[in-house]
Chain A
Amino acid sequence: MVPVVGPLLAAAVLLTLPDRLVLRRVVALLATAAVIAVGVVLLVATSDGAVPVLRVGGWPPVVTITLAADPLSALLVTVSAMVVLACLVAAAGTGDDCQRAFLPLTMVLSAGAYGAYLTTDLFNLFVLVEVMLVPSYVLLALSGGPGRAGAGRVYIATSLLGSTILLAGVGLLYGVTGTVGLADLAGTAREVPAAAAAGGVVLLAFALKGALVPLHDWLPRAYPVASPVVVALFSGLLTKVGLYAIIRIYAVLYGGDPAYHPLLVAVALASMVIGVLGAIGVGSMRKVLAFHMVSQIGYVLLGLALFTAASLAAAIFYLAQYVLVKAALFLCAAVVGATRGTDRLSRLGGLAASSPLLALAFGVAALSLAGLPPFGGFLAKFLVLRAANEVGDWLVLTVAVLVSLVTLLSMLKIWGVAFWGEVPRAARERTARPGLALLGPPLALGACALLLGPLGGPLLQVADDAAAGLLEPAGYVRAVSGR
């Protein structure tokens, strides 16, 4: 209950508060910290296989709004809240939150995301995704640089189309099965072909929201226009909700039906390859990172597509560490933007000398993204590869290794130009020193990425639990339906 209502209440309070920036920041930070605390409590509570269920208002299961937390939901709520916290601190550093609407919108957006992770029926999922998306339209329009009108239109049109398709899919599913509760729908797509088709419409909508190839084109167009802090927030929450929904629906509604594995593997591989190739040709940090989002989403989907206990655990581990790493990289871009006034690679250089701490944060996060030991990213990629090896799919194995090589290459490109390159003349006079509020969040998230390598055991345990829950959703179904 707290993850959804807490931030919404905070947003309401923020709207009524007078223009005292410090006070407003404290309210937003406290609300997010409370969500992290609840997330950790949920993680502990779900570690023994229990599924805490909340029926809002105490109504019977058919009519109530049901929230339930299994290890997957609890983990994603915690990780998202950490990203929100980091973004709030960074926004205080860059001055993004001086705009009066920024903090309330962020709170509403995060509430929608947490709710989407916790809800147990598809219609509420639709509503909560909308709660999350509507503030994001405004944030993109508020924070964007030049070209935001065009990018904003692409973004809103795509999201709106996705939401319309999603609602149609939910309607069709209701028409076929007479219910929208995930627990009641468990496994129906394997038995009723019409339900599988209706579920396919829902999955299509989430593939659009999660920016899977061939529906990825909007993401590298729309995201880089917003300010880097906002992009970090979006990357941590928006597309990940789409990905989470795909994982959950495929596991519960379809029961991991092997008939669809080739399709999922093909989409995953296409996302990985096209995303990483797109990143080679673009010239600003945010654009490179946006293309890598598409590519990294492919790895998570690959873990889902193989649908074994090991591969699901790998996918969940990958998702959690990748959200943190990606936010760290975008927040590094925010620091660069705030100190140099641009993140175009052609106008950057010499960052390693002028701010070594930033270089440290970026280096750790970039190497983790590329999947080098001893970082968390290495462990995640290794798990995905090992799962693919167990299945014996050599094509998948080869593509995954090659893509991470190209990822490393494009991270090295940013590093070589922006951090080691010669300082451009234009940058010499307008270099500011980044403050602690700016540098702290990427450093902290980078530290997480580093620690997840050697000390990834607890997260791996959670991922294993979550994978077991997805592979055998009977416990989840029983707890949610109350039978």
Chain B
Amino acid sequence: MSGPLIVGVLVAAGVFLLLRPGQLRLVLGFVLLGHAVNVLLLAAGGLHRREPPVDGGGPESADPLPQAFILTAIVITFGITVYLLRLLRRGARRGSRPPETWDGGPR
């Protein structure tokens, strides 16, 4: 039961942050959404199976494939988060437009 709950809370928080104005909230929202999807992937492999899959493994051994997926997804999300923060920083330093507007237009 904990899996769906965690995903639900993370998605709700992420979507809430995405819908708020402001760049930093956008970045944080995507971080939370990324985590939600990672938990979802983990749950897709079955959360009750916890035995390590090495050395033959038994029927209760965890499914390694979703874990490999998550590893890849974490790397991608991390890279894009860093790039987004970099963009945010550049925009703030230029001061070309207040960082709170998001669409290039007035709020």
Contact = CB atoms under 8 A, between A and B. Distances in A.
Given A172-B40, A174-B66, A127 B72 contact: yes
Contacts of B103: 150, 153-154
A147 B37 contact: no
A175 B42 CA distance: 9
Contacts of B23: 153
Given A150-B103, A153-B23, A153-B102, A167 B80 contact: no
A171 B102 contact: no
A172 B41 CA distance: 7
Given A123-B69, A164-B34, A171 B84 contact: no
A164 B104 contact: no
A171 B44 contact: yes
| Size bracket of the B interface | 20 to 34
Interface of A: 123, 127, 130, 134, 137-138, 141, 147, 149-154, 156-157, 160-161, 163-164, 167-168, 170-172, 174-175
B14 to A, nearest CB: 9
Nearest to A165: B37
A469 B51 CA distance: 42
Contact of A164 (B26, B33, B97): B33
A150 B102 CA distance: 6
B32 to A, nearest CB: 10
B44 A175 contact: yes
A134 B80 contact: yes
Contacts of B97: 149-150
Given A134-B80, A156-B84, A174 B73 contact: no
Contact of B69 (A149, A160, A163, A171): A171
A362 B7 CA distance: 51
* Majority secondary structure, B binding face: helix
Given A123-B69, A127-B72, A127-B76, A168 B96 contact: no
Contacts of B76: 127, 130, 134, 163
B12 interface: no
Given A161-B30, A174-B44, A175-B40, 5 more contacts: A147-B104, A150-B105, A151-B104, A164-B30, A171-B43
Interface in B9-65: 18, 23, 26, 30, 33-34, 36-37, 40-41, 43-45, 65
A64 B88 CA distance: 38
A168 B70 CA distance: 11
Given A152-B87, A153-B102, A174-B65, A168 B80 contact: no
A138 B37 CA distance: 25
Contacts of A156: 80, 84, 87
Contact of A175 (B33, B37, B43, B96): B43
A153 B41 contact: no
B73 A167 contact: yes
B8 interface: no
Contact of A157 (B26, B73, B94, B105): B26
Nearest to B99: A149
